Structure 1
Amino acid sequence: MTQLTDLRKSYERAELSEDASLADPFEQFSKWLAEAIAAQVPEPNAMTLATVDSSMRPSTRVVLIKGFDAQGITWFTNYESRKGRELATNPWAALQFHWVELERVVRIEGRVDKVAEAESDAYFASRPLDSRIGAWASPQSQVIPSRALLVANAARYGTRFLLHPPRPPHWGGYRLQPDCWEFWQGRKSRLHDRLRYQLDADRRWTRERLAP
């Protein structure tokens, strides 16, 4: 059996220099995300969301990005889930994308707010029928006696709403407005490239290199 201490990889695919990177982190992110999609890495839209509860205990989970622009990074979920409850208490969070095949990581920090109801309605209407029923059927993050409850709930709401389930009042979108980005590119000998973008007092992005 291979020992964990023996697992090593040399990162040699690419580099990230100040001259080659874009001045706007949203544009740099758009470029890297497009490259991840083009490279057909598994689930390039998957990101880890980190939140903190009222006792300062952190938790993470994987969610899917559903949009981004100068306003921020958007995803959709159950407002009554653990992450929803934690964001209601502490609206600051962090996101991370890890594209293993490209030897790249993107970290994003900022404040999270709910998106407008119309935006949540529009996205919910675009989801497959099973996913829309599932949003009603699952009391996300709550303890349940068995999977049978989910199946029964799905059948009940499917019968109730047929082909037109409305968006549940407890379900919708969040948007993280970044004030800090970090782009990490793996390099040989563990001398990785790390570029951080932070908003200054004038709401302009300052780019700086971090030691790996």
Structure 2
Amino acid sequence: MTGARAAVDPIALFRAWMIDAEAKEPNDPNALALATATADGAPSVRMVLLKSLDERGFAFYTNAESRKGAELAENPRAAMCFHWKSLRRQVRIEGLVSELPDAEADAYFHSRSRGSQIGAVASRQSRPLSSREALEERVQVIEERYPDAVPRPQFWRGYVLWPERIEFWVNGAERLHDRFLFLRADSAWVKEQLYP
């Protein structure tokens, strides 16, 4: 049962599942659907990549001026969903999101390829683009402006989701799936099994 029935620590179980995904999932095992919402609750969802997991939670990086960044600024609650189709498993996570320190954002930004750094600086993520040529011109300008190191722009930030709910789902025959929900209660986790 992939350890879900016996698990008492959802973070340890998630790590074990991620190791399986990294070994067996053909593309981007760290891809997740990130759902955010406006202050009045209008939701939106998109794919991002998990970049680290530690005692603070699940970390990702993005443009703070993008739609997701704007929504997180006005409503710091979010949900994540990992779906590993080839493993027939899913993990849903909900909680509060906060920004990572600038030093961590700097370190991760500079670990990326030069092309990815330039693309991040050039992109006015989520805003209207007149043409592909306009984007390519912005990229060329940034390449010329920074022939050596590319400074991390202030709008490019790291975020971490502090999990309050983590649900593990395992595909079952005849749609009799296994679902296990972990709820954070103070410093401990409470586990429940759910109907499929």
Q: What TM-score does the superposition give when structure 2 sets the normalisation length? A: 0.97
Do residues 205 (structure 1) and 192 (structure 2) align? Answer: no
More strand by share: 2
The answer on whether the counterparts of 2:169 and 2:179 sit within 8 Å (CA) in structure 1 is yes
Match of 1:161 among 136, 140, 146: 146
Q: In 2, Cα distance between the equivalents of 1:129 and 1:178?
A: 32
The answer on whether the counterparts of 1:46 and 1:62 sit within 8 Å (CA) in structure 2 is yes
The answer on whether the counterparts of 2:94 and 2:165 sit within 8 Å (CA) in structure 1 is yes
Q: In 2, Cα distance between the equivalents of 1:77 and 1:165?
A: 16
User: Counterparts in 2 of 1:81-120, with a 5 A limit?
Assistant: 81-120=66-105
- Structure 1 outlier segments of 4+, above 3 Å: 14-17
Q: In 2, Cα distance between the equivalents of 1:96 and 1:116?
A: 24
Residues 55-108 of structure 1, C-alpha deviations (whole Å, 9 max, x = no match): 311000000000001210000010000000000000000000000000000000
Give the counterpart letter for 1:198 in structure 2. L
- How many residues are treated as equivalent by the alignment? 196
Do residues 18 (structure 1) and 2 (structure 2) align? Answer: no
Unaligned stretches of 5+ in structure 2? none
Q: In 1, Cα distance between the equivalents of 2:32 and 2:4?
A: 24
Tell me by how many angstroms 1:163 deviates.
2.5
The answer on whether the counterparts of 1:15 and 1:187 sit within 8 Å (CA) in structure 2 is no
Q: Which residue of 1 aligns with 2:181?
A: 196
Tell me by how many angstroms 1:172 deviates.
1.3
Tell me by how many angstroms 1:26 deviates.
0.6
Larger RCO, structures 1/2 (Cα 8 Å, 6+ apart):
1
Do residues 43 (structure 1) and 28 (structure 2) align? Answer: yes
Q: Which residue of 2 aligns with 1:4?
A: none
Residues 150-175 of structure 1, C-alpha deviations (whole Å, 9 max, x = no match): 10010001000113110001101000
Closer, same or farther: CA 81–146 of 1 in aligned 2, 3 Å? same
- Give SS of 2:86's match: helix
- Give SS of 1:44's match: coil
Q: In 1, Cα distance between the equivalents of 2:86 and 2:112?
A: 29
Q: Which residue of 2 aligns with 1:185?
A: 170
Tell me by how many angstroms 1:17 deviates.
4.9
Tell me by how many angstroms 1:139 deviates.
0.1
Q: CA RMSD in A?
A: 1.1
- Give SS of 2:180's match: strand
Q: What TM-score does the superposition give when structure 1 sets the normalisation length? A: 0.90
Q: Which residue of 2 aligns with 1:132?
A: 117
Question: Percent identity of the aligned residues?
Answer: 44
The answer on whether the counterparts of 1:41 and 1:99 sit within 8 Å (CA) in structure 2 is no
Closer, same or farther: CA 117–17 of 1 in aligned 2, 3 Å? closer
